[in-house]
Amino acid sequence: MSNDRVVLIVVDALRFDTACTHMGYMQHLVERNVAARYEVRSEVPSLSRPLYETILTGTPPIVHGVTSNYTIRLSTQQSLFHLARSNGKKTAAAAYYWVSELYNRAPFNFAEDRLQMDKDQAIENGIFYFEDHYPDSHLFSEAAWLLQHKQPDFLYIHPMNVDNDGHLFTADSKEYRNRVLAVDNLLSLFIPQCLEQGYEVVVTADHGMTADGNHGGNTIEDRHVPMFIISDQVKPEIVEGAVSQLQVAPLICRLLAIEPSIEMVPLLLKGM
């Protein structure tokens, strides 16, 4: 039975094909009928800030208006953080500072905004980093602290090292593939903690990464990312065919047992 508490993990720049070949722990959960695996087609442009907003509001760039990484302003939409707070739920995030700029304050104040605890904001408790090479291991430690000490109903986690190595070495590199192995290992340590505390877990990505060491375009390498769901409400199976990234936000609303915003599309995921 659902406890209406969700951890959403967005691994920046995690390609679908590399997730399938190099995430042994996540595939283990699929094979043991614990997790479902979906192939998600991102919105375009397949850039980070626009797709953070898409994932967290369930709206495409043409609606939410964040069409570039240089669009620095607060969101104009009802995000998952806003919806959770309006339903009396606690929110938290361990994420890149652009997430704070979308939902708490823009521009990010580097002297004041790294730690945001017990705030009357969309993200009630936030730990935000601002270096792309900030270690994923540190981030998951901070997420574990939030889980234990703040006990949020909705926790958003956003590691960046896969994206950073993709830009430095390209997706067709041992460094990129080894970084995917590394984040899978971190997930193997963190996800059991979430399950023990009664959370449902969703692991996905904003966009992919190309052999040119970039993203933003319309190729499968740019756009196709994984989504693993661990929930009693979702049948544990491999779902064939790509689904829209716009399904992520209404999915999280369903798992949190809250009404989606009027801008979100209907939830049509197979296996629900």
> Which structural domains are found in the chain, ordered by start?
6-256 (3.40.720.10)
CA distances from 22 to 130, 163, 174, 197, 243 (A): 27, 15, 11, 27, 21
The answer, as to whether pTM is greater than 0.85, is yes
Residue 29 predicted with pLDDT over 60: yes
Confidence band for 3, pLDDT divided at 50, 70 and 90: confident
Confidence band for 1, pLDDT divided at 50, 70 and 90: very low
The predicted model gives 160-180 an average pLDDT of 98
Residue 2 predicted with pLDDT over 80: no
The predicted model gives 60-78 an average pLDDT of 98
Q: What is the DSSP string of 15-45?
A: -HHHHHHH-HHHHHHHHTTS-EEEEEEPPSS
Cα–Cα distance between 171 and 81 in angstroms, integer?
32
Indicate the average pLDDT of the chain. Answer: 98
